[in-house]
Structure 1
């Protein structure tokens, strides 16, 4: 008697999912794939759909619109950067989808690799007099975590409020002992979508990949660097980790703080009063920039559209540094179209990644790139973890978002689009130097003759690309 009841329950659940797919599915091909999985893989198809297939934009866990209303009241203007008309369309797109205008009165410091970044971060934290906000995808025990603990203790003694937000999966290894020390010290902590039985089906696939620090609403940091000692000591298998980070001073820091406060509320249920935070203006050189937050609760695929727009605006060159370039159809079409139209498109990535399956999936697209005339550079000295895009000596994009389905549609990310020719040329020079040290792939015919076993492995890995 029990088995027939279970079968009926399963059929009801499956039919409910089918209705949900038909009502909320965005891409017909993806909807069809999930329908086939549900009906051809008993139980497993349903579980996979619950984990990876639901359209989060139609079933929002949290809406940012009301929370961002405060920002519009606090910020009273935008500026127009000195860029071409095509790039102006990108700024307008970001303004409409991410609700973030271009701000001009900002100071900007480019930080490369762990040593320089953490020296700058520690100096800023020591200057705090009101509050310190930190959020990280990966926060690990180690030398850096201990150094932060020392600074927190000193600042709390001077009545500085400290809030730390960490991702439930990315920071899964963070010890209970360390968290206990933070709590005893007076640091407020919150875990973003913790891995808990009964909730993991709805939250496992959606992670907070942001790396943000805000000090007194005056100084902000964001980029690719996590709190991990591998940025100081390197990795036994990959060597030194290379990454890019930004220190921001001025108006845009208010936007970084808004992102943190929003995520803090989502994770902790506690609201932070932003009315006491003063919007700062930088008095030095001004860098026009936009903060681009994105996540599965947005009305649109904000990060995918921002990247897609910048790719399509390229006229002279498009240089990309990213460890995880696993493009969906739109991004792949954009890159190929740019290259076939005469744009110098170059991809710089490590000769190997930290996850073998991902490495195979990344390489599965190499043949398509080379056929379109895209040059691929494989950096041999350590692991490149930067998420950088350079376009036409006009725009630099630096932040947390990879060029894969997870970053473009599922993770909570934060990217910075900087509209400054000098910075772009500086980073372009560094890019070309790194390319000169790298192995270059540009011969499509030669690459297409690689062993069939490699092609087979890459093809199998490519099937997993929507989940990576």
Structure 2
């Protein structure tokens, strides 16, 4: 047996072992059959290279690390909230029960909610809250720009730190700069404790580049909280002339639900830095101060359940009259599109508002590939004019609202770390429904999409294949 033949046999044996081993792991761990079949095909067509790709990109190490941290930490960091649970009867009771089990958190009564549209209205309220902080400030943002607004936040955060307030700032490792982050340099210069979520230049950590923390959280003293779709940047100031102005909606909360919001930040911070924040400085005794029931719902690749998507799907199933969506990036998968279609077919008025032109053209093209199917079954697709609106809103039967950071696409619902809040309140739902209606400037009809040329339709269909990376 010559040398070349021996190498060929060794290569074949190693390839077979790799393919079989990876296939077994895929079959035992992957839930999605399309993903499962795809990875198995790659590993048998290219045994060694495919196996390396799977080891890098196919294994959810984020979930493993998060589960290990939960096992080590044991109990929650905050006081039990069972006595503040809000009991629901009627239409949305099945949804409440499902989220009870899915999130492990109760629906909490006694909250106050305030809608803040655009950075012009939201930033002053957020900055004022930070300037009045006495114990702690926790801030998480996907995008934190080093511009006139970003520096204003750095200034008030520095002032808070200098008067003895514990300040923590978490930004995404991609959204706020991967190679170099000006805002982190500015925070470091002020000696503010800050970190980049899942950021590394190490080759074996590069797979995490597609997993992003898209959450926007601000908590003051464990008593006042903000969340929604608003990043930190001058483009969100509509009263200031910018190249691409971005409208958005943010929410200010007070009440027991802030405990759940704080916990979401604390887990992300511990995941990133291994520092566990605990004690009354961050988790004071929750006190009911309003009458709005609310609950935080998070999702991300650190868990097996797509909790935000499941909440939306269950709400669509329970809808009796109407469902309103407002999303800057709308690319539903087959499961989500089917539920929307079934709701429309049973007589529910399904209204979906998307921007006529977003800030990502490729995403718009991929979105347009999804819309004809929904229009054909009776969903109403509305187009919003400029400025581009980044709000993420859902309202069902003018009684239940679901708002936060999550878009209606595969990236948000499966890959990103997201945070939403369910709100059981007629006043809030009515306000948000009216807000969505006012932005419906043009309706997309069957005649409109039938007029699209073949090259346009092919372009849209091709780009839809890349939705997890858009």
What's the TM-score, normalizing by structure 1? Answer: 0.91
Change (3 A) 1:52 1:456: farther
Q: Which residue of 2 aligns with 1:413?
A: 418
Q: Which residue of 2 aligns with 1:77?
A: 83
Q: Partners in 2 of 1:229 and 1:360 — Cα distance?
A: 27
> Shift of the alpha carbon at 1:65?
4.6
CA RMSD of aligned residues (A): 2.5
One of 456, 462, 466 as aligned partner of 1:464? 466
1:50/1:201 contact within 8 Å kept: no
Change (3 A) 1:83 1:381: farther
Q: Which residue of 1 aligns with 2:270?
A: 265
Change (3 A) 1:105 1:405: same
Change (3 A) 1:346 1:39: same
Q: Are positions 1:314 and 2:319 aligned together? A: yes
Q: Which residue of 1 aligns with 2:193?
A: 188
Instruction: Name structure 1 gaps, 5 residues minimum.
Output: none
One of 119, 131, 135 as aligned partner of 2:136? 131
Q: Which residue of 2 aligns with 1:211?
A: 216
Map of 1:213-228 to 2, 5 A cutoff?
213-228=218-233
Q: Which residue of 1 aligns with 2:165?
A: 160
> Shift of the alpha carbon at 1:30?
2.6
2:88/2:96 contact within 8 Å kept: no
Q: Are positions 1:61 and 2:73 aligned together? A: no
Q: Which residue of 2 aligns with 1:171?
A: 176
Residue-by-residue CA offset, 1:189-209 (whole Å, 9 max, x unaligned) = 121110322233442232111
Q: Partners in 2 of 1:157 and 1:72 — Cα distance?
A: 27
Q: Partners in 2 of 1:68 and 1:395 — Cα distance?
A: 33
Q: Are positions 1:447 and 2:449 aligned together? A: yes
1:98/1:294 contact within 8 Å kept: no
Instruction: Name structure 2 gaps, 5 residues minimum.
Output: none
Change (3 A) 1:181 1:425: closer
Change (3 A) 1:124 1:369: same
Q: Which residue of 2 aligns with 1:103?
A: 108
Q: Partners in 2 of 1:302 and 1:121 — Cα distance?
A: 28
Q: Partners in 2 of 1:6 and 1:351 — Cα distance?
A: 54
Change (3 A) 1:451 1:261: same
One of 244, 247, 252 as aligned partner of 1:242? 247
Secondary structure of the equivalent of 2:342? Answer: helix
Q: Partners in 2 of 1:143 and 1:458 — Cα distance?
A: 37
Change (3 A) 1:190 1:406: same
Q: Are positions 1:352 and 2:354 aligned together? A: no
Secondary structure of the equivalent of 1:31? Answer: helix
Secondary structure of the equivalent of 1:292? Answer: strand
Secondary structure of the equivalent of 2:298? Answer: strand
Q: Are positions 1:295 and 2:300 aligned together? A: yes
2:85/2:107 contact within 8 Å kept: yes
Residue-by-residue CA offset, 1:327-370 (whole Å, 9 max, x unaligned) = 12211111111111111101101112222221111111011011
Residue-by-residue CA offset, 1:218-238 (whole Å, 9 max, x unaligned) = 1000000111221125653xx
Q: Which residue of 2 aligns with 1:31?
A: 36
Change (3 A) 1:134 1:373: same
> Shift of the alpha carbon at 1:169?
1.2
Change (3 A) 1:152 1:229: same
Change (3 A) 1:378 1:6: farther
Residue-by-residue CA offset, 1:294-337 (whole Å, 9 max, x unaligned) = 12122322112111111111110000000111112211111111
Change (3 A) 1:385 1:51: farther
1:192/1:208 contact within 8 Å kept: yes
1:111/1:117 contact within 8 Å kept: yes
Secondary structure of the equivalent of 2:314? Answer: helix
1:230/1:241 contact within 8 Å kept: yes
Map of 1:11-50 to 2, 5 A cutoff?
12-40=17-45, 45-46=50-51, 49-50=54-55
Secondary structure of the equivalent of 1:318? Answer: strand
Q: Partners in 2 of 1:38 and 1:245 — Cα distance?
A: 45
2:108/2:293 contact within 8 Å kept: yes
Change (3 A) 1:272 1:399: same
Secondary structure of the equivalent of 1:32? Answer: helix
Change (3 A) 1:30 1:234: farther
Q: Which residue of 2 aligns with 1:434?
A: 439
What's the TM-score, normalizing by structure 2? Answer: 0.91
Q: Partners in 2 of 1:287 and 1:61 — Cα distance?
A: 35
Q: Partners in 2 of 1:351 and 1:397 — Cα distance?
A: 23
Residue-by-residue CA offset, 1:160-195 (whole Å, 9 max, x unaligned) = 111111111111169555434423423111211103
Q: Which residue of 2 aligns with 1:305?
A: 310
Secondary structure of the equivalent of 1:389? Answer: strand
> Shift of the alpha carbon at 1:113?
0.8
Change (3 A) 1:33 1:423: same
Query: Which of 290-299 and 385-394 deviates more?
Result: 290-299
> Shift of the alpha carbon at 1:60?
1.7
Q: Partners in 2 of 1:195 and 1:234 — Cα distance?
A: 35
